[in-house]
Amino acid sequence: MSKKPAKKVKVQLAGAPKGMHDILPQDQPLWEKVRKATREISDFYNFHRIDTPIVEHIELFERATGQETDIVQKQMFNIASRGNDRLVLRPEGTPGVVRAYIQNGLSHMGQPLKLYYEGPMFRYEQPQAGRFRQFHQIGFEVMGGEDDSLYDIQVMQACYRLIEELKIKNTTLKINTLGCKNCRPVYKKKLQEYYKNKEKDLCVDCKRRLATNPLRLLDCKEEKCVEMKKDAPVILDHLCASCTKSFKGLLEYFEELDIPYLPDHYLVRGLDYYTGVVFEITTEGFDFALGGGGRYNDLVEQMGGRKTSAVGASLGVERLIEVMKAREIGEAIKPKPRVFLIHVGDIARKRSLGIIERLRQANIRVKESLGKDSLKAQFRNADRAGAPLALIFGQKEAFEENIIIRDMVTGAQETVPLAKMAEAIRRRLK
Ligand code: AMP
């Protein structure tokens, strides 16, 4: 008895993991536009590119980003590796850059060292508008050198000009300071006093943070906590003389740069390592921040390096792109091909591959539809591609080492030797 062939079972693939997205070909021009602007702004302001691993030891973020942060407490993607190492997908860029700075002795390069990076980050968050589990950040860091607000301003300038370069308008740069180790403890105490008899109404996280890091209460998004901070003391009233002076100095730089800013005395940001100025950039009509950052003068030392002044910021690429799309900000147009290659017959088809290589060497952008034999179909594709010239290559031309150049607008044609093809194309394209 013959055996029945096993029935093929169609396997239904699960989609991409929750909160993670494909970047499809139609969106690539916008992504490239952001990448190009990032490269140009970084080059202009002398930020050097650094790439660090996407995977790092969990301790890096526990120590740098902070045990008290949502990132470390709730949002890490742990990796089950084969060894005993505790690895995670990086949730943010700064700790990896600080580790690389210490590990590679980058403090021996000219200081301050200005660095930039871009790449994917991972946070186990509840996906919503502008919030994903895999997202991309562009980051700027200035490490080493003097503790000078000039560098704070340079980081903000790079972020602001990048956003400007992408034609995103109606932005607000909110700015605050967290004081220094002399005045911050005084302010923290004031906050604790303010919240003491309101404690029972705080959310669970804020109840805990009240003892460990009361500044973070100002950052809570829970409605009742937002309501409660309305009359909370502001840091500006508790800054020491030196912090007041440097904050004022910073604001004066803004006038020079013609960058509008808005002091926001409750801005604290969600990471533990900030030690002075913090800022955030928002844009009208969107609830999320495009980016933000601040000064982190203790982090390098805390991670085992020398005492190092540092300031940095990052922007979220998906958010920049979402705003650009919503406002229909011009997509970067993919350069059109300069010529379209049309073949007639098998021999010409084979030899077309060699012609494409000649065109590449001559830096002439070419498109073809070698998979199609019908002349009509090839001409239709040539029209669609929008190339000003078509190259027609048949058996006769292949035999005689010639090619026909056709003007797609006037229809005028000319036969030229293959050896002179590039030159003839260039002449016509002028
Ligand atoms: P942070 O590292 O939390 O200071 O965030 C800096 C910027 O990264 C934010 O302003 C966002 O633009 C972006 N960002 C942070 N978390 C996410 C996320 N889950 N999804 C998309 N973008 C994010």
Query: Which pLDDT tens digit goes with each residue over 64-117?
Result: 998 888 899 999 999 988 888 999 999 999 999 999 999 999 999 989 999 999
* Rg of the chain, C-alpha, whole Å: 29
- With cut-offs at 50, 70 and 90, classify the pLDDT of residue 3: low
Res 333: pLDDT: 63
Res 140: pLDDT: 98
Interval between CA 60 and ligand 1 midpoint (Å): 19
Res 68: pLDDT: 80
Res 181: pLDDT: 87
* Region of poorest pLDDT, from 5-9, 190-194, 208-212: 5-9
Sheet holding 55-57, edge to edge: 55-57, 87-89, 77-79
Nearest in space to 238 (alpha carbons), one of 180, 199, 193: 180
Better pLDDT: 223 or 5: 223
* Region of poorest pLDDT, from 99-103, 282-286, 335-339, 355-359: 335-339
CATH 3.30.930.10 in the chain, residue ranges:
25-183+239-326
Task: Please say if the pLDDT value at position 271 is more than 90.
Answer: no
User: Which CATH number among 3.50.50.60, 3.30.930.10, 3.30.499.10, 3.40.710.10 corresponds to the domain 25-183+239-326?
Assistant: 3.30.930.10
Q: Which residue has the tokens 């930020």?
A: 47
Res 37: pLDDT: 97
Interval between CA 69 and ligand 1 midpoint (Å): 14
Query: Pairing mode, if any, of strands 113-122 and 134-143?
Result: antiparallel
Res 380: pLDDT: 95
Res 245: pLDDT: 92
- With cut-offs at 50, 70 and 90, classify the pLDDT of residue 1: low
pLDDT, one tens digit per residue, over 19-50 is: 999 999 999 999 999 999 999 999 999 999 99
Res 335: pLDDT: 77
| Average confidence (pLDDT) over 134-161 | 96
Which of 121, 221, 268, 283 for a ligand 1 pocket mutation test, highest count of atoms within 8 Å of Cβ?
A: 121
Task: Please say if the pLDDT value at position 2 is more than 80.
Answer: no
Report the percent of the chain where pLDDT is more than 90.
82
Task: Please say if the pLDDT value at position 334 is more than 80.
Answer: no
pLDDT, one tens digit per residue, over 381-422 is: 999 999 999 999 999 999 999 999 999 999 999 999 999 999
For the CA of 281, the nearest atom of ligand 1: 10
Interval between CA 91 and ligand 1 midpoint (Å): 9
Task: Please say if the pLDDT value at position 332 is more than 60.
Answer: no
For the CA of 317, the nearest atom of ligand 1: 12
Res 67: pLDDT: 86
Q: Which residue has the tokens 């997908």?
A: 89
User: Which CATH number among 1.10.760.10, 3.40.50.800, 3.30.420.40, 3.20.20.140 corresponds to the domain 339-429?
Assistant: 3.40.50.800
Interval between CA 289 and ligand 1 midpoint (Å): 8
Res 364: pLDDT: 97
Q: Which residues line ligand 1 (CB under 6 A)?
A: 92, 123, 125, 130-132, 135, 137, 270, 289-292, 314-316, 318-319
**Average pLDDT, rounded, for the chain:** 93
Nearest in space to 334 (alpha carbons), one of 361, 297, 306, 367: 367
| Average confidence (pLDDT) over 242-246 | 92
Distance CA 400, CA 381 (A): 26
> What DSSP string describes 363-409?
T--EEE-TT---HHHHHHHHHHHT-SEEEEE-HHHHHHTEEEEEETT
- H-only helix segments in 166-309: 184-196, 204-212, 223-228, 241-257, 299-302
How far is C-alpha 185 from the geometric centre of its chain's CA atoms?
34
Q: Whose CA is nearest to atom 14 of ligand 1?
A: 316
* Region of poorest pLDDT, from 32-41, 203-212, 338-347: 203-212
CATH 3.40.50.800 in the chain, residue ranges:
339-429
Interval between CA 318 and ligand 1 midpoint (Å): 9
